[in-house]
Structure 1
């Protein structure tokens, strides 16, 4: 902690407010600020500006990073220091509202839609005694809800058309941290009080605050609503097809023939998706986000849900182990984000995810899969899709036995990765098995295939071999050569030059600086993710140098000399050469800089390791 404080107090860690305004007096924290205010020391130690223009140069006003920007020399000189103009509207969406984040931090958020659906499915547990004691100790709690309703001191929700009596409200389910193996600790089984006839329609006085209904006092004396009738109406509303859409009647997304960029951990960030959109991708999806982290308001996890305005058909992918966690995360995303669909990951092979009962672990628990899909799809009207693998252990395929049920549970589409969890990526995907699943699926469920699509010929083959397949999701093929989308649309092999590839990297860097920032921290974050991407792109072998076309994903690229020095450099498997490429775009790396790629795409676990 002391080291972190000293680093922030160093001259190079200039206060963001001071950097933007250019005036030491602009920071409200003065000497108590955890950052440096020494402009002279910062200027003397700041690295030289990078080549090129500030990515925020087109904004009507100052660069948000001011003096800290690594392109500060290109800033407009006619804008006086300390003058703030209205910034150009950001082209990114789905930022987490600070007020909502604070409510999540305090565990005060209520999820009426999710809890109603969980109750209907019999998945809503009883109130935890610890949670109840904490709630009873808080007096006059006026908690802002999901932008549409509020709660009384006992946690009961009140919303137009969805009123529940204080005595018989649906109890709050403990968060995942309060349970072990799905069993809630300290369940308090208490009989419900007898409902009374209401004397007044306005039992819970409220006021409107910033568009949200917030309760201001206790219910009027002697005013108790008929909870039994209201709960019956709630259940009837949820089950009556005339009032609530059947899953098959929801607004669907037609994935047929669309080029779908898979959600990719670490490398599938917003700048990379923007590059793929330019090159022809039709559907994009954010990186996998953990439901528990989203419900805790973690900013780093919410950043995975960010969307650029160019992503016209965009979904987010979430991962969770329990129906209540996933359903509440789905409701929160529906409330706070602009998305076209929500994908539930039930195929992630990563140990840290599987050990928590999520991802591929769900493939061994079909009833848990059913509960999660039903709870999520019944909570929101947006399409809910699912991504799975063939099975958990190699040779024990089981998705074909439940693929017909997945559509009945409420999912509108399922993506099948043609590998088991144990197999990871070491062998070719089993497309014959994917075809088998697609033929077993009902017409209402779209089936997408995933695995080893590296050229337009692969795409054409899978589509012609199985007409029941809606489309193919493209993952590592896009990491190695993102212009695969152009190749599919134009039905040709693109013998791309090293200069054209470098221009794509320049676009990525520009998008990265806009996304992560143009100050020192933003530059190094952009460099880090660029290097992660370069750890894939070196595997590409130019079409003009291949003896057999097209290149296969399972081929180990040979050592070769390119047609020019840059092409040879791009083919190097050395991290030192990837760093050299990054320095061509982002300047010299800091002293002591090292890089090791995060992914282990060729891992093949032993059976006992899953």
Structure 2
């Protein structure tokens, strides 16, 4: 439903002026008293704190970093104490229990898809169950689709002569088979009960053409690392040939610079008597220095890190920011459905990628709908980490069947404010060491082959010392990066203030001026080399954009900028991309927002699976998504629209009961909403949100689908 946002009654102006700063302006008939006022001391305050619930894009709700952050030293205790008062949950553990810990009759993995008993090499000594009927009798009850929200899991079978609509396993309907086999919670929809055989329907027709193709070709995922590839990384058999070569050159250049600075020290003669071991060590060191000198002389007048790259063009593209935890594959699929052009993986750590860690290699996976506009973001603190991570990503992330690429870029995160990463020297710590950042980018540029390299930065690490304008000058002249993304805040600032778009404009202008200077210097010069095959550096701004008016205001105000990256705005309002295309606000009804959640739940099950563990994972990430999605304030109840990201509403009720529940910040309501799509909550399900005022444990609540 479309609405005109400029509808403000004159009688409300005086009332709005009395509201405290940071409070959204709602129509009086939708404002209610604090429903929890009887359970806490501050009962007179019925307005949520303006900054409550704001997390960075890079660290939103991630226990990967939260658990490690608690290892900080005693000097940080006072700061942790302040955060505790704000109600943040450190040491969150939202891992779900696997079936092997609950069911003693777990089916053997070798028989999961109905294989013959001879498929198990352990035979009768196998510790798993080989009796399929016994397993089915003891597994968790199936999810009854008939009791779930009307429009969930309804798929139109295009090849059906009568156009029938059927309920069933969402993964089976999507892929033509279910990888969960007998473990699926929707098993009856792809099981022949007479002989306990699994059903497959792996082809479908394309329109009027009687051509049948595998269903998974239309709905597949890429960048899966195989067992052999993982073993090559774990056992250090992967040949990092490009990385080793570029690291030798970078070390040689660094050593030459050190030798030049220490030339006076070298001229001083050492008259002390040396042992044979010391003499041998000095000879070996001199041999290494000679090799480095040879490399330096060979590459000093060349752009040794340059390589031919695919063209990167983000002019006017709608770009989703990398989002830890909440920016998972199902959410990115949802963004693509609403019209997003470019998506990024969650931030992956370089060292675990190089070591073949499963949890880290789950992050670069992408859906076929993202192909052609998908980037992987990595965080590294050393040049060797960045180079090797870029090389292994370029080797393993591609379509193995037709050989096409799946990555449009590899992005280096030089803006993550998380304390742990900062202390390790990665993330925004690279801004304090521009020389190291440049070496990392040059190493990545050479090792990644034809995949472009981009970097995401902040204005700086300190509020009073912005340095991005100085950094872009060095990036133009000393690197070959294809794109720069600037978040208009410092590390110290976090979300206490609005993003500085005037500074973003200044940096964009500085970038174009430096590009012009560099291009003029390269013309007719044998010592200078054209950067990036003559294409200009893509520049993207980021910060506080949550509506189409802001989008067009900044893109028109800053013509030097190619596009804008959206983060929290897309989490709170996933249809922001539709609003940008239509240049108007869309007031989604409660039923339309439920369809958004329905799509997310279906995409989640296709990604994490429909077995018991997979459903628990889907429910966990559903709640993570709801931690932002519930913050959407319907336009129809607002006196002033759009609502800014740093504004919080008074306690309000929606235009119907479902809209009220969708806007609830109570995690128990999120659990109830998940039951519409994922069935009744599991008895052992646990979810700890970012904030301590909002938590869930199964024994504390008993809900049924009838509710």
* Alignment TM-score, normalising by the size of structure 2: 0.66
Q: What is the CA-CA distance between 1:115 and the residue it aligns to?
A: 1.5
| Alignment pair present for 1:411 and 2:481 | yes
Q: Which of these two proteins has the greater Rg computed from alpha carbons? A: 2
Match of 1:362 among 426, 430, 437: 430
- 1:33-56 CA-partner distances (Å, limit 9, x unpaired): 454445444323323322141123
For the 8 Å contact 2:98–2:612, the answer to whether it is kept is no
Q: Whole-Å Cα distance in 1 between the matches of residues 660 and 626 of structure 2?
A: 14
| Alignment pair present for 1:382 and 2:441 | no
Q: How many residues align?
A: 502
Aligned to 1:353: 421
For the 8 Å contact 1:540–1:557, the answer to whether it is kept is no
Q: What is the CA-CA distance between 1:411 and the residue it aligns to?
A: 1.2
Tell me which of the two structures has the higher relative contact order, counting C-alpha pairs closer than 8 angstroms and 6 or more residues apart. Answer: 2
Aligned to 2:527: none
Aligned to 2:686: 594
Aligned to 2:151: none
Q: Whole-Å Cα distance in 2 between the matches of residues 84 and 486 of structure 1?
A: 36
Aligned to 1:396: 465
Query: 5 Å matches for 1:459-608?
Result: 459-598=551-690
Gaps of 5+ in 2: 1-96, 146-166, 203-213, 256-280, 398-405, 516-535, 693-707
Query: 5 Å matches for 1:437-452?
Result: 437-442=507-512, 443=515, 444-452=536-544
**Structure 2 vs 1, CA of residues 313 and 5 (structure 1 numbering), >3 Å: closer, same or farther?**
closer
CA RMSD in angstroms, aligned pairs only:
3.3
- 1:191-250 CA-partner distances (Å, limit 9, x unpaired): 3999xxxxxxxxxxxxxxxxxxxxxxxxxxxxxxxx98xx97999699767xx8946x63
Instruction: Name the SS of the counterpart of 1:267 in structure 2.
Output: coil
Q: Whole-Å Cα distance in 2 between the matches of residues 541 and 82 of structure 1?
A: 46
Q: What is the CA-CA distance between 1:595 and the residue it aligns to?
A: 1.7
For the 8 Å contact 2:252–2:296, the answer to whether it is kept is no
| Alignment pair present for 1:256 and 2:315 | yes
- 1:569-595 CA-partner distances (Å, limit 9, x unpaired): 000000110111111110111224332
Match of 1:57 among 168, 172, 187: 172
Aligned to 1:173: none
Aligned to 2:264: none
**Structure 2 vs 1, CA of residues 599 and 512 (structure 1 numbering), >3 Å: closer, same or farther?**
farther
Match of 1:313 among 341, 350, 373: 373
Q: Whole-Å Cα distance in 2 between the matches of residues 264 and 92 of structure 1?
A: 19
Match of 1:99 among 219, 222, 228: 228
For the 8 Å contact 1:270–1:307, the answer to whether it is kept is yes
Aligned to 2:181: 66
For the 8 Å contact 2:103–2:138, the answer to whether it is kept is no
Aligned to 1:29: 122
| Alignment pair present for 1:328 and 2:388 | yes
* Alignment TM-score, normalising by the size of structure 1: 0.76
Query: 5 Å matches for 1:6-155?
Result: 7-8=100-101, 10-11=103-104, 13-21=106-114, 26-50=119-143, 51=145, 52-58=167-173, 62-75=177-190, 77=192, 81=197, 88-89=216-217, 91-122=220-251
**Structure 2 vs 1, CA of residues 548 and 56 (structure 1 numbering), >3 Å: closer, same or farther?**
same
Aligned to 2:338: 279
**Structure 2 vs 1, CA of residues 110 and 565 (structure 1 numbering), >3 Å: closer, same or farther?**
same
Instruction: Name the SS of the counterpart of 1:558 in structure 2.
Output: coil
**Structure 2 vs 1, CA of residues 277 and 269 (structure 1 numbering), >3 Å: closer, same or farther?**
same
Q: Whole-Å Cα distance in 2 between the matches of residues 455 and 386 of structure 1?
A: 25
- 1:521-580 CA-partner distances (Å, limit 9, x unpaired): 111111111110000011000111111111111011332111111111000000110111
- 1:31-88 CA-partner distances (Å, limit 9, x unpaired): 5545444544432332332214112324786522222101111115399727989884
Q: Whole-Å Cα distance in 1 between the matches of residues 98 and 376 of structure 2?
A: 36
Q: What is the CA-CA distance between 1:462 and the residue it aligns to?
A: 1.0
- 1:128-157 CA-partner distances (Å, limit 9, x unpaired): xxxxxxxxxxxxxxxxxxxxxxxxxxxxxx
Q: Whole-Å Cα distance in 2 between the matches of residues 448 and 567 of structure 1?
A: 35
Gaps of 5+ in 1: 127-187, 195-226, 601-610
**Structure 2 vs 1, CA of residues 6 and 470 (structure 1 numbering), >3 Å: closer, same or farther?**
closer
